[in-house]
Amino acid sequence: METKMKLCVVFGGISSEHEVSLLSATSVLTNLDREHYDIVMLGITKAGRWLRYTGDVAALRTGEWEKDEAHLASAFLSPDPTIHGIVTLKDGTAVTERVDAVFPVLHGKGGEDGTIQGLLEMAQIPYVGCGVLGSAVCMDKIIADLVMDAAGIARCEWDYILAGDEADFDALEARLAAKLGYPIFVKPANAGSSVGITKAHDKAVLKAAIELALQHDDRVLFERFVDAHEVECAVCGNRVVTSTLPGEILASKEFYDYEDKYLAGTSRVAIPAQLSEEKLLEVQAAAVRAYKTLCCTGLARADFFVERGTGKVLLNEINTLPGFTDISMYPKLMMDTGLTYAALLDRLIALALERKEAAHG
CA distances to 106, 174, 245 from 183, rounded to whole Å, are 32, 13, 30
End-to-end CA distance of the chain: 28
Q: Using DSSP, how many helices (H) and how many strands (E) does the chain show?
A: 11, 17
Q: What is the mean pLDDT of residues 83-97?
A: 94
Q: What is the mean pLDDT of residues 85-109?
A: 95
Hey, what domains does the chain have and what are their CATH numbers?
Answer: 5-127 (3.40.50.20), 137-155+226-360 (3.30.470.20), 158-224 (3.30.1490.20)
Contacts of 117 (CB under 8 A, 6+ apart): 104, 127, 129, 130, 131, 132, 135
Q: What is the pLDDT of residues 295-334, one digit of tens each?
A: 999 999 999 999 999 999 999 999 999 999 878 999 999 9
Q: What is the mean pLDDT of residues 135-160?
A: 96
Which of the four pLDDT bands, split at 50, 70 and 90, describes residue 359?
confident
- The CA-CA-CA angle for residues 295, 296, 298, to 5°, reads 145
Which of the four pLDDT bands, split at 50, 70 and 90, describes residue 194?
low
Q: What is the pLDDT of residues 161-178, one digit of tens each?
A: 999 999 999 999 999 999
How far is Cα 73 from Cα 42, in angstroms, rounded to an integer? 10
Listed in sequence order, the DSSP H helices in 106-263 are: 115-123, 132-139, 141-151, 169-179, 203-214, 258
Please name which of 85, 107, 135, 108 lies closest in space to residue 27, comparing C-alpha atoms: 107
Instruction: With a cut of 70, say whether residue 259 has pLDDT above it.
Output: no
Contacts of 150 (CB under 8 A, 6+ apart): none
Residue 232 DSSP label: E
Q: Specify the pLDDT at position 68.
A: 95
Hey, how many other C-beta atoms are within 10 angstroms of the C-beta on 361?
Answer: 4
Residue 127 DSSP label: B
Q: What is the mean pLDDT of residues 91-120?
A: 95
- The gap from C-alpha 251 to its chain's centroid, in whole angstroms, comes to 19
Are residues 243 and 303 in contact, defined by beta-carbon separation less than 8 angstroms? no
Are residues 7 and 349 in contact, defined by beta-carbon separation less than 8 angstroms? yes
Listed in sequence order, the DSSP H helices in 89-202 are: 115-123, 132-139, 141-151, 169-179
Which of the four pLDDT bands, split at 50, 70 and 90, describes residue 264?
very low
Contacts of 299 (CB under 8 A, 6+ apart): 128, 129, 130, 234, 235, 236, 320, 321, 322, 330, 348, 351
Are residues 9 and 29 in contact, defined by beta-carbon separation less than 8 angstroms? yes
Q: Provide φ and ψ at 33, rounded to 5°.
A: -75, 110
How far is Cα 106 from Cα 119, in angstroms, rounded to an integer? 14
Q: What is the mean pLDDT of residues 270-290?
A: 97
